[in-house]
Amino acid sequence: AGKDRRGARGLRFEPVAPNTADAVTVPEGYRQNVVVRWGEPILRGAPAFDPENQSAAAQAGQFGYNNDFLALLPLPGERGRQLLVANHEYTDEVLMFRGYDPENPTRRQVETAWAAHGLSAVVVEEDGRTGRLSAVPRHHLNRRVTATTEFRLTGPAAGSALLRTSADPGGRTVLGTLNNCSGGTTPWGTTLHGEENFNQYFAHGSRATDSRYGIGTGATERKWERFDKRFDLAQEPNEVHRFGYVVEFDPYDPASTPRKHTALGRFKHEAATVRMTADGRPVVYSGDDERFDYFYKFVGSKRMRAGNGRAARAHNLTLLDEGTLYVARLTGDSPAAEIDGTGKPPADGEFDGGGEWIPLATATATGAVSHVEGMTAEEVFVFTRLAGDRAGATKMDRPEDIEPSPRTGKVYVALTNNTNRGRSGYAAADEANPRNANKHGHVLELTERGGRAEATAFGWSLFLVAGDPEDPATYFAGFPKDRVSPVSCPDNVAFDPHGNLWISTDGNQLGSHDGLFGVAVRGERRGELKQFLTVPTGAETCGPLVQERRVLVAVQHPGEVDGATVERPASTWPDGPGRIVRPAVVAVWRADGADIGV
Ligand code: FEO
Ligand code: CA
Ligand code: CA
Ligand code: CA
């Protein structure tokens, strides 16, 4: 891999070499700073971070734990400022609380963890002189949403018997959001947040639907069910049906009630990314991050209204309530016998083929219709995985983030890994998931028929088969492999202003830390993948946002290494030796102030 500063426009930087430093490492000539860390006070009245005396009340006014998805929204009228929205996917109690006893968590610890989940909205401000980006505490738009904030269920399953609980007999009001992984930003000025591994918070599952969603039959590791019976399915069987949705948040209205959209289905939503049809309706892509699960598309039937007036905003907040939910079925164009599970391409030289979006259910203003035999529409929206099973959707290698290119409309699907592929009792490799024991993952490029977002058919090919480029079972869109960075476990994807795809990783299996990579998807440098940064020990790289002059990443779960605790940390990032490890958002910019990668 070269000391090559050339590259596609936007990717002209010297690649960072794979490493295991307990630091964020950026290319030569670039600078970085921590924008905001777990525990920093962002709301009026919140106390300074004190890890030895953390409480739910303090945490509810401070930046949450394990930042994942990031959005930056404009703040007209406030120069040099933007509104940052971050997901707080989950908590690492052993790294948060000194002396934490996993068998006997205290109420104080559990309630603090509830307050550390959810979302943060926090205004950030650029220092024009130094390039640093920092949080503006106490801004009136700053907000925390936690595991106990009130949410409204909307769309076709809201109010259904499947969603009613003893605390909410109407089935329309839920407390909290959990495991918000990645997300998306809508063209109407809101953010979307995928509730991913919600199963881990619920104890004593017993139904077939519980097991299909990975809900265990015993106690949970966190033991929240000891402190609130809604986490115990034996006592409150429907509470779990109220998690696993796409959440919509209006960061410009701090008094707004966030929504959970049942029309987008219930599964382990990794993310939700929006594009618009030519006639102004939203299309939302979302992957279900589980080995052998599916990816989906929702096509809305209502048109977005232009402008930021009250009526337009209120209308646009209902756009995701009506439309059709589809699941993807992919068919390879090469004979199945040519897919041997090693990653060796078939005779036509490409892993590629066609696909169809299979409709599962349609929600309208007057009701909802199921397209799946044997399931009602409400069942399709609440037990979406079972609908995908019945529809014959294609079992993928963990569909994570999905991003349509704003330039070309082609859609990129990160498939992070699947070490069970091809094992006895599991599905074997197919053309769309061509490696058995797939530990490095791949990225699929999907082209909607006619370039129409609402198309029901598509073509696809594998853009990237990840791993060490010296491994013959890797593919970088045909680019010479002696000139690319090694990459493993693609997770989040984003586009920069030049149309390059940026990929962040989770779980690198090549012996170095996770990181962020940029790759051209068009032109003669298509497939030239270059590493832009690496993250500290135990961390995953999340939330990448690539603006003209700044890259933001969420450093999630630094120090999360087997056996690590507050007393025996694996990482002391970002504050150094003797200080508690803290997930944080990092900004990177060029020392000379010029645009990234030009
Ligand atoms: Fe929360 Fe699939 O990563
Ligand atoms: Ca083929
Ligand atoms: Ca993720
Ligand atoms: Ca992940």
Ligand nearest the Cα of residue 345 is 2
Contact yes or no for 382/363 (Cβ under 8 A)? no
Q: How crowded is residue 336: how many other Cβ atoms within 10 Å of its Cβ?
A: 11
Which ligand sits closest to the CA of 460?
2
Distance CA 233, CA 224 (A): 12
What average pLDDT does the segment 461-489 reach? Answer: 97
Residue 277 is predicted with a pLDDT of 98
Query: What digits encode the pLDDT tens for the residues 360-387?
Result: 999 999 999 999 999 999 999 999 999 9
What percent of the chain is modeled with pLDDT above 90? 98
The predicted model gives 126-150 an average pLDDT of: 96
- Does the beta carbon of 196 lie inside 6 Å of ligand 1? yes
User: Per residue in 221-279, pLDDT tens?
Assistant: 999 999 999 999 999 999 999 999 999 999 999 999 999 999 999 999 999 999 999 99
Measured from the CB, is residue 430 less than 6 Å from ligand 1? Answer: no
Q: Are 485 and 3 within 8 A, CB to CB? A: no
pLDDT, position 6: 80
Whether 288 is in the pocket of ligand 1, judged by its Cβ within 6 Å, is no
Query: Which residues crowd ion ligand 2, with CB under 5 Å?
Result: 333-334, 346, 348, 350, 352
pLDDT tens readout for residues 418-439: 999 999 999 999 999 999 999 9
Query: CA-to-CA distance for 594 and 598, rounded, in angstroms?
Result: 8
Kindly state if the Cβ of 514 falls inside 6 Å of ligand 1.
Answer: no
| pLDDT tens digits for range 27-85 | 999 999 999 999 999 999 999 999 999 999 999 999 999 999 999 999 999 999 999 99
Say what the pLDDT of residue 4 is: 54
pLDDT at 5: 64
- Cα 589 to Cα 549: distance, rounded to the nearest angstrom: 6
Residue listed under structure tokens 């052998």:
292
| Contact status, residue 162 vs residue 241, Cβ threshold 8 Å | yes
* Residue 271 beta carbon below 6 angstroms from any ligand 1 atom: no
Q: How far is CA 46 from CA 58, 60, 253, 445, in A?
A: 6, 8, 20, 45
Which ligand 1 atom sits nearest the alpha carbon of residue 181?
Answer: 1
Q: How high is the pLDDT of residue 573?
A: 98
Residue 441 Cα to ligand 1 middle (Å)? 14
Beta strands, E only, 155-226:
173-175, 180-185, 191-195
Helix (H) / strand (E) containing 167? none
Q: What is the rounded average pLDDT for all residues in the chain?
A: 97
Ligand 1 pocket check for 89: Cβ under 6 Å: yes
pLDDT at residue 2 greater than cutoff 70: no
What's the distance, CA 396 to chain centroid? 17
The proportion of the chain whose per-residue pLDDT surpasses 70, expressed as a percent, equals 99
Q: Tell me the ipTM for this assembly.
A: 0.93
Alpha helices in 293-398 (DSSP H): 310-316, 377-382, 384-391
Q: Going by C-beta distance under 8 Å and a sequence separation of 6 or more, which residues neighbour residue 228?
A: none
CA distance 109 to 115: 10
Residue type, 225: E
| E strands in 49-117 | 67-74, 81-88
C-alpha closest to that of 64 among 248, 193, 231, 203: 193
